[in-house]
Structure formats: C-alpha cells, structure tokens
Structure 1
C-alpha cells in the first residue's frame, strides 16, 4: 500500500493507455481497494523499482485462476520507463522464481492486439498465442491470449479448462 502514490502517478501519465483496467480503477477511485485486495491474495506480486531507488515504477504479478496450477500474468510500467527492458527483466525474474518455488505450472496473459510491444515482449519470454477454439478463457475480442508453461515436461499440453 505504501506504493499507491507512485502507482497513481504512473497511471496518471497521459501516455498510459486509458482502456487498461488499472487506468479504469484509478478513474473510478477503486485503485486503493484493488491494491489492498491484490496484496492480500496474490503472493506473487512484485513492485518494479530501479536499482538504488525504492520508488515503484510498475508491478508484475501472477494471479491464481480457478484452474489447477494456472495463473494470469499481470504487469505494467510507468510510461517514462517503457522501452528499456525493465518489464522483460521483471517478468523473467518472476517466472524464474515461480518455476522454482511455486505450484504454478501454466501462465496465461491477455494482451490488446494493438499493443505490439507487449505482444513482442511476451513472445521473447516464450509465450505462444492460443487459438480461441482451444480455450475456455474469456478475453475481449480485441485481445490475444498467450500462454507459457513453466515446466518443460508440460509444454506439450493444451490450455487447461
């Protein structure tokens, strides 16, 4: 909760996409309640900071789903920090830690089709697109669904339902 003011500052940047859930929560004044809930329920929530500074410039989280061993990836960075490799570093570190120390085996991410930098980022992190016909996950029509297995022995499986 101590990071709330820094999160609000990052989301207030006019370059931050207004259609993302965090921006909507800020407009609706529900961001603080969301942050309190997510910090209590998502043990895999990390603040992204720059080395030598404690100011939160983004977050990366794995949020449990109803499917066994499956979680959603959620991440954002303040626009002033975009295109520096920080999101890739943070997500990669979280996935590595999770693969070693967690029951999660399967990670899902939904990304807007027009967010090409985010799609490329996830592809660099070995996420692959999932055809809508292979999944029961519901995402908006203007989004793409990507998945990654955290365990090599599970890579040949399909998306859990």
Structure 2
C-alpha cells in the first residue's frame, strides 16, 4: 500500500489483526484436540447391612489381614488372629512396604493352591487411621491386581496389636 509522504512524522503502527486471528485459531485447536481427564472413582461393593445371613469362613492359607494404624503404618498377619500362619508384622505404605508383601503372598497362594481362587485381603482400619491410608491401601489392591478384598471392623484384639507396636 502506497502512502503519500507529506513531510510530517507519523506514529509507527503495527497491524495485529493477523496475530489475533492466529491466537484464536490456536486456542480453538488446542481446546478441541486435548483430552479432558475425568476423575476416576474406585468402585467398592459394600454388603447389605439388613442381610443377616452368615458368611462363609475365610480359608486361612490364603487370607491376609491388614490393620491400618496411625501415621500410615500397616500391621499385617497371615491366616487367623488366634493362630496366625505368619505375623503380626509391621510395614509401611507403598512400593517398599506393603506392596512387596502383597505381591509375594499373592504369588505364594497361586503356587500353593494351584486353583483359580486367589488371595483374600481383609482391610481393617483403626480409629487412628487416616482416610488417606484407606484410599492408599485400596490403590495398592488395584496395583497388585488383587480382586478379592473386604473392609471390616477392627476387633479389640487387633487394636491391642496396633497399640503394642
């Protein structure tokens, strides 16, 4: 575009119309192509409290009980509390702690029983356990591929185990 030079000095002007158009096109492109992640919720099937039927006893050679205490501590025993096959032991949350125990016991049950039935985990949070500890242990069940687990109430004898450590 040609301009007539009249001798007076004009203010330099930059036309930003193309830049604004490009910015809106990029914003639209990225909004339409990004994946919006939805929060994932873990489904936990809880039994009907009105149902008074007795439940089958758990096989102690494939049952591990996790006692959730304060400060992210996990005490566990293998089998039944009155005559445990192993434990009680203390562990921590995460990769270096309870996850290794769960994976080891899962493999041990698979080799010993040679059945389709896997390990059963009983999770019993104490009153001192944080809600985050329960969520973390449910995440560990998912990470370890354990499909049979339940959340139960902690007994006074199990509370005594937590108090001793």
TM-score, with normalisation over the residues of structure 2? 0.28
Higher Cα radius of gyration: 2
Relative to its length, the structure with more strand (as a share) is: 1
TM-score, with normalisation over the residues of structure 1? 0.29
